[in-house]
Amino acid sequence: MIDFNKLIDQHIARASKPKKVGRYYPSEIGRCIRKTWYSYNHPHVVEPELLKIFEAGNLMHDFVADVLKSEKTPEVELLKVEMPLRFENAKFVVSGRIDDVILLKMEGKLVLVEVKSTKNVSFVKKANRAHVMQLQFYMRASGIYNGVILYIDKTNLQTKMFEIKFDEKNGNQIIKRFESLHKHLIEKKLPVAEAKKTEDMKWMCKFCEYKERCEENKK
């Protein structure tokens, strides 16, 4: 018989491309900068199980986009899906894609929507720090200063939404984080292990594929 697990693995397999110093991504900047630095210098092959999780997230976003553009939801208008955004200076480029841009018709307000899938939405008590930073970057790059992070449960489609207002100070701080990452990469200097030193980031160490290398402070 057909092995559907194998077919799925083949379907979602991606060619592994090394990252290029000077080109960065909004989804990375909320992580520990040391981990991101390692990912440029010691890239890991993405395991099939993790690719499946990414693909499940894509399916959830497609569902949300269908809801937003449906005639059954006239109070909102879906204007853009996967809209590319870019920040560039003399040293580096940051590029990414915001999931959705919608118009709230009654208020005449543009809103950025970033969709995140989760195993159990009831456990989500506040917006993830990294997700907030990602959305803050998108707001800074787009000039659309209203945003929401929408968490959707993969098991029952229940959702939880957090409204995020643009904070210029935070937006500028995010650019400074990219500048710090770039400087450490160019100078081949290992950044501080910030996740170990920041209370709401310590959980990242448990799942980090560079944990052993980091413990030894190895480049």
Mean model confidence pLDDT for the chain: 92
Which domains does the chain carry?
Answer: 42-171 (3.90.320.10)
Q: Specify the pLDDT at position 15.
A: 64
The DSSP code sequence of 155-181 is TT--EEEEEEE--HHHHHHHHHHHHHH
pTM: 0.90
pLDDT higher than threshold 70 for residue 195:
yes
Residue found under tokens 């999931």: 99
Report the DSSP pairing between strands 23-24 and 76-88: unpaired
What sign does the CA torsion over 183, 185, 188, 193 have? positive
Rounded CA separation 41/190 (Å): 10
Which tens digits make up the pLDDT trace of 60-87? 999 999 999 999 999 999 999 999 999 9
Q: Is 172 left (phi over 0), alpha (psi -120 to 50) or beta?
A: alpha
pLDDT higher than threshold 90 for residue 8:
no
Cβ atoms of 100 and 115 closer than 8 Å:
yes
pLDDT higher than threshold 80 for residue 14:
no
Cβ atoms of 90 and 81 closer than 8 Å:
no
Q: Specify the pLDDT at position 148.
A: 96
Rounded CA separation 167/119 (Å): 29
Q: Specify the pLDDT at position 39.
A: 94
State the average pLDDT over residues 134-157. 95
